[in-house]
């Protein structure tokens, strides 16, 4: 795969490879001008990929927050809005996701973070207890978002497969 197509297909992997090439050139090529700040240029290129990973993680976490809200308050006035947000966040996560993100993504950690946020926002509220939500993500990365199916899994507290 060419570097240009890798850039389009997997920005995280591309940025890691490019940063390594720059670092290697900095170590081995004495003809490179001292004006080139090899260390920081490599770090900035790597940050492009890390930024995309963070964006995907953020969207997944927001999907989780809204799924939990729906599980706790399915008849809330905002439920329709939450469903729309889930679809939008899911679309953005899928659009920005690249294969090399699979390994560093920790769905259980994202789930726990979302759960903590929802717990804080529902402190003292009436209705189903936030503590009934699963501790670990009941959702696996390959799963497509089917809101009604996921709602059953989130509400029932099923373990991931």
| Domains of the chain in sequence order | 3-156 (1.20.1220.20)
pLDDT at 31: 77
| 126 pLDDT tier (thresholds 50, 70, 90) | low
pLDDT at 30: 76
pLDDT digits (tens, 9 = 90+) for 3-23: 668 999 999 999 999 999 999
Q: How far, in whole angstroms, is CA 159 from its chain's centroid?
A: 20
Whether residue 144 is predicted with pLDDT greater than 70 in this model: the reply is no
Contact residues for 125 (Cβ-Cβ < 8 A; gap 6+): 72
Residue 79, Cβ density class (10 Å: 0-12 exposed, 13-18 middle, ≥19 buried): middle
Whether residue 87 is predicted with pLDDT greater than 80 in this model: the reply is yes
pLDDT at 81: 96
């Amino acid at each position: 795969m060419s570097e240009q197509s890798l850039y389009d297909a997997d920005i995280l992997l591309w940025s890691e490879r490019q940063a390594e090439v720059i670092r290697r050139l900095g170590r081995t090529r004495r003809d490179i001008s001292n004006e080139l700040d090899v260390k920081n240029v490599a770090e900035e290129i790597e940050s492009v990929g890390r930024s995309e990973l963070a964006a995907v993680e953020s969207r997944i976490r927001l999907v989780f927050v809204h799924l939990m809200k729906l599980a706790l308050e399915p008849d809330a006035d905002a439920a329709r809005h939450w469903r729309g947000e889930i679809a939008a966040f899911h679309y953005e996560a899928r659009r920005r996701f690249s294969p090399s993100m699979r390994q560093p993504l920790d769905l259980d950690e994202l789930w726990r973070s979302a759960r903590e946020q929802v717990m804080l926002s529902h402190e003292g509220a009436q209705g189903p207890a936030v503590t009934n939500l699963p501790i670990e993500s009941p959702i696996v990365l390959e799963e497509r978002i089917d809101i009604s199916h996921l709602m059953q899994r989130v509400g029932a507290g099923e373990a991931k497969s």
